Amino acid sequence: MNIKFNHALNDIKIYEAGKPIELVVREFGIDAKDVVKLASNENPKGVSPKVAQAIATNAYKAYLYPDDSMFELKAALAKKYAVNTDNIIIGAGSDQVLEFVSRAVLDDKSSVLMSGITFAMYEIYAKQMGAKVYKTANYRHLYDEFMEAYTMYHPKIVYICTPNNPTGDATLKSEVIRLIEAIKKDTVIVVDGAYMEYAVAKDEQYRITPLDLLAYDNVIYLGTFSKAYGLGGMRVGYGIANQEFIHELYKMRPPFNITTLSLLAAIEAMKDEVFVEESVALHLQEIKRYEAFAKERNIEYIESYTNFITYLFNEKRNATEISNALLGRGVIIRNLASYGLNGVRITVGTAEQNSIFFRHFDDVTSNN
Ligand code: PMP
């Protein structure tokens, strides 16, 4: 290959997404209906029936570009969060908003700071810009560790992922505010609340709203429709920040960056908050089974504030072997070896899916 790619790419590891159902069908000849996918933190209740109906009824609109102003969706979000529409930018997933922030702020002289184990795209987007990536020692967002690294490196972006992926832990609102207050106003702070709906249902002390953060003009809050709202496949997320900040991000946005049907689905999903509440309630009930299952088998787990749970194995169990054995049985979970952990992340599924997971897990680990 004679092409000289951007040298910033040398240092980038390609993002490893949760394995799709199609792969298991292809590689193991398992029927798609027998595959249990607990790998990508999707909503096990699926799509709200009202949203599915709206998508079906409007399928004929697929030939039309979406309303590029995305006014209706922004108005619904503005109402929900008591902010203005010009505080909001919509992305193809909150992933795309992360990309906008990275491109708008970073260059090859800058650096970013994040917790020791966190959402991999922060690092990838930063490296694309040639920026240096610093991580704290802990996966938890600890004030002292962050401030020590912040003082040493003066990063241009600090990422706070709460609740955190792939670990499931969350940071108290009071601690997030303490960090924001301590960090200089020329540093962008990204507060990624992709799983916030699950955290607040468990404990109000973790609730961080975009309105809380608008008091600081260097902070952006990210939210998504991919998890509790059941729309992972539609790719809709959002960023909420000071209007001048959002204005700059708009310079990075391609036109029509989400699809006509995605836009419509997100608008409909916001009208069906009952579905979100039911999804979270199901999750809170089912995750208890994962905690009990782990305790009975002496498996360490991280207390979760998300829709997944992270099991950490001791040397008697091997995360890669277990994930592969489960895959061969049509159960997809996330091996955390690429994060340097001998552990797995399991999206909490429906009662039936979880029972299948438990059964197969015991089977594949029976000789341990
Ligand atoms: N942030 C976190 C912490 C995530 O876990 C994810 C999805 N895995 C995202 C952002 C991106 O989600 P989406 O692009 O689907 O909105």
Query: Per the domain annotation, does 1 fall within a domain?
Result: no
306 close to ligand 1 (CB < 6 Angstrom): no
Burial of 71 (0-12, 13-18, 19+ CB in 10 A): exposed
pLDDT at 357: 98
Looking up residue 31, the CATH number of its domain turns out to be: 3.90.1150.10
DSSP 164: -
Question: Which token pair is 281?
Answer: 């309630």
pLDDT at 62: 98
Distance 235 CA to ligand 1 centre (A): 10
Distance 40 CA to ligand 1 centre (A): 10
Q: Could you tell me the pTM of the whole model?
A: 0.96
Alpha-carbon distance of 223 to 93, in angstroms, equals: 9
Residues 289 and 341 both lie in one domain: yes
pLDDT at 346: 98
pLDDT at 366: 83
Alpha-carbon distance of 209 to 164, in angstroms, equals: 16
pLDDT at 367: 59
DSSP 10: G
Residues 250 and 106 both lie in one domain: yes
Residues 226 and 244 both lie in one domain: yes
Residues 59 and 203 both lie in one domain: yes
Residues 224 and 108 both lie in one domain: yes
Distance 315 CA to ligand 1 centre (A): 30
Looking up residue 97, the CATH number of its domain turns out to be: 3.40.640.10
Residues 116 and 247 both lie in one domain: yes
Residues 330 and 181 both lie in one domain: no
Which residue's CA is minimally distant from atom 11 of ligand 1? Answer: 95
Domain region containing 134:
49-271
231 close to ligand 1 (CB < 6 Angstrom): no
Query: Per the domain annotation, does 327 fall within a domain?
Result: yes
119 close to ligand 1 (CB < 6 Angstrom): yes
pLDDT at 23: 87
Residues 14 and 94 both lie in one domain: no
Residues 285 and 260 both lie in one domain: no
- Who contacts 16 (Cβ-Cβ below 8 Å, separation ≥6)? 120, 338
pLDDT at 19: 83
In the chain, the N- to C-terminal Cα span, in Å, equals 46
Distance 87 CA to ligand 1 centre (A): 20
Ramachandran angles phi, psi of 237, nearest 5°: -145, 180
Alpha-carbon distance of 267 to 127, in angstroms, equals: 34
Residues 266 and 289 both lie in one domain: no
Alpha-carbon distance of 76 to 31, in angstroms, equals: 40
Residues 139 and 218 both lie in one domain: yes
194 close to ligand 1 (CB < 6 Angstrom): yes
175 close to ligand 1 (CB < 6 Angstrom): no
Ligand 1 atom having least distance to the Cα of 164: 3
Residues 123 and 241 both lie in one domain: yes
Alpha-carbon distance of 64 to 61, in angstroms, equals: 6
- In order along its 368 residues, the chain shows pLDDT tens digits of 889 999 999 999 998 887 888 888 998 888 988 899 999 999 999 999 999 999 999 999 999 999 999 999 999 999 999 999 999 999 999 999 999 999 999 999 999 999 999 999 999 999 999 999 999 999 999 999 999 999 999 999 999 999 999 999 999 999 999 999 999 999 999 999 999 999 999 999 999 999 999 999 999 999 999 999 999 999 999 999 999 999 999 999 999 999 999 999 999 999 999 999 999 999 999 999 999 999 999 999 999 999 999 999 999 999 999 999 999 999 999 999 999 999 999 999 999 999 999 999 999 998 55
